[in-house]
Amino acid sequence: SGTLTVSELADKLNKDSSEIIKNLLFLGVMATKNQDLDDDAIELICSEYDVEVEKEIILEDTDFDKYIEEDDPKDLKERPAVVTIMGHVDHGKTTLLDAIRQSKVTAGEAGGITQHIGAYQIEVNDKKITFLDTPGHEAFTSMRSRGAEVTDLAILVVAADDGVMPQTVEALNHAKAAEVPIIVAVNKMDKDTANPDRVMQELTEYEIIPEDWGGDTIFVPISALTNQGIDELLEMILLVAEMQELKANPNTHAFGTVIEAELDRGRGAVATLLVQNGTLHVGDSIVVGNTFGRVRAMLNDVGKRVKEAGPSTPVEITGLNEVPQAGDQFLVFADEKKARQIGEARHQQAILETRSEHTKVSLDDLFEHI
């Protein structure tokens, strides 16, 4: 797995290729000008010249983009939508997430839902939908994967008895900025004081206009408490998802995003991952943010052990050397050695970045006091 050719290394070191080749020979490595060098050989040569570019060379390759191959369009298959529920505090987000989850639990799983992994998947009309159980703003601010959104669709919950509130506006601005389609769930319709027309009226100010009024936003009146309108809301989610033609390649190395992570006393680092492309397997060598390891065990959203997880599937994994952070990206590598190299390099890089940030801060502080 070469990262540099002899002549590229020579350029970096400002030496002649022939000199590098001679040195390599001296170190017992036969190489030609255009030959790829492995990291060990690069390190050896660099230390010969007392050059600290060693790190720089390795760090160049910490970007996941370098290891992700473009998918052939013919390998792409339909994948479930990833949905985030947003809205003002107390408008019913948690109640709605619970109601959806309860309504679609199969009998066999009913007892299994004891744990909480930050995301879950349900099935409606033979199609899956993944719900992120994270505060909506986090799903948009920290959870971007390779510049793209983790969320495909936002449900904006607005309580019909309260109307549009500051966090409603904040939420819709996030979704708009991310160009993620919005479905409005007008909640608490069971209340005598419910006034859905007012909600619609107020949202027009933000260019969210119901279809009935000539706009293109779907509004669904619901009650998360009585389950009124939940099935219709789910059908609308499927409809919008279908129009998006969401696709992924299930037959490639998995990549995706960390939904949440923590240190468990017994199990060590535990991370909930959302697979966004490819399929994740038990035993895979993986880099997660600045951590790495092999996937030791994998649990699905109802706490069942699984061996693999395809696109749009949330799973909880163990086997990482340290605890990654929510919003970190992960990528599976073909072999353990590569994963370790990249993981360690990313860790080093993070330390260097923190250090230079500190230096910058202290310099700024200094100037402030002059």
Q: How far is the CB of 158 from ligand GDP (least distance, A)?
A: 10
Sign of CA dihedral 237, 238, 240, 246: positive
358 is in an annotated binding site: no
Q: Which residue has the tokens 């994270």?
A: 134
Residue 300 interacts with which of Mg ion, ligand GDP, none, CB < 5 to 8 Å by class: none
Is 281 annotated among the ligand-binding residues? no
Give the Cα separation of 201 and 214 in Å (integer): 13
In whole angstroms, the minimum distance from the beta carbon of 231 to Mg ion comes to 22
3-state helix, strand and coil shares in percent for the chain, rounded to the nearest 5: 40, 30, 35
Asked if residue 106 binds Mg ion (CB under 5 A), the reply is no
SS3 85: strand
Q: Is 87 annotated as a binding-site member?
A: yes
Q: Which is nearer to ligand GDP, 154 or 224 (CB)?
A: 224
Nearer residue to ligand GDP within complex by CB, 43 or 190: 190
Contact partner, 223, from Mg ion, ligand GDP, none, Cβ < 5-8 Å per class: ligand GDP
88 belongs to an annotated ligand binding site: yes
- The CB density around residue 367, as the number of other CB atoms within 10 Å, is 8
The site partner of 188 among ligand GDP, Mg ion, none (C-beta below 5 to 8 Å per kind) is: ligand GDP
Q: Which one, 88 or 346, has the nearer CB to ligand GDP?
A: 88
Please report how close the Cβ of residue 101 comes to Mg ion at its closest, in angstroms: 14
Residue 188 CB, shortest distance to Mg ion, in Å, is: 14
Residues in the site for ligand GDP, rule: CB under 6 A?
87, 89-95, 187-188, 190-191, 223-225
Q: 92: which 2 tokens?
A: 């019913």
The binder of 78, among ligand GDP, Mg ion, none, by C-beta within 5 to 8 A per type, is none
Is 303 annotated among the ligand-binding residues? no
Site for Mg ion in 75-94 (CB under 5 A): 93-94
From the list Mg ion, ligand GDP, none, partner contacted by residue 91 (C-beta under 5 to 8 A by kind): ligand GDP
In the structure encoding, which two tokens stand for residue 203, read together? 């949202």
Would you state the structure tokens that stand for residue 101, as one six-digit string?
């989850």
The amino acid sitting at 146 is R
Tokens read off for 245: 């033609």
Chosen from ligand GDP, Mg ion, none, partner binding at 89 (C-beta under 5 to 8 Å by type): ligand GDP
The count of residues in the chain is 370
Q: How many chain residues bind Mg ion (CB under 5 A)?
A: 2
Token output for 332 = 């599976």
Question: Is the distance from CB of 180 to CB of 246 less than 8 angstroms?
Answer: no
Question: 89: annotated binding-site residue?
Answer: yes
User: What is the smallest separation between the CB atom of 175 and Mg ion, expressed in angstroms?
Assistant: 18
DSSP 227-279: TBTHHHHHHHHHHHHHHHT-EE-SSSB-EEEEEEEEEETTTEEEEEEEEEESB
- Other CB atoms within 10 Å distance of the CB of residue 12: 17
User: Known binding site: residues?
Assistant: 87-94, 133-137, 187-190
User: Known binding site for GTP: residues?
Assistant: 87-94, 133-137, 187-190
Please give the residue ranges that form the binding site for Mg ion (CB under 5 A). Answer: 93-94
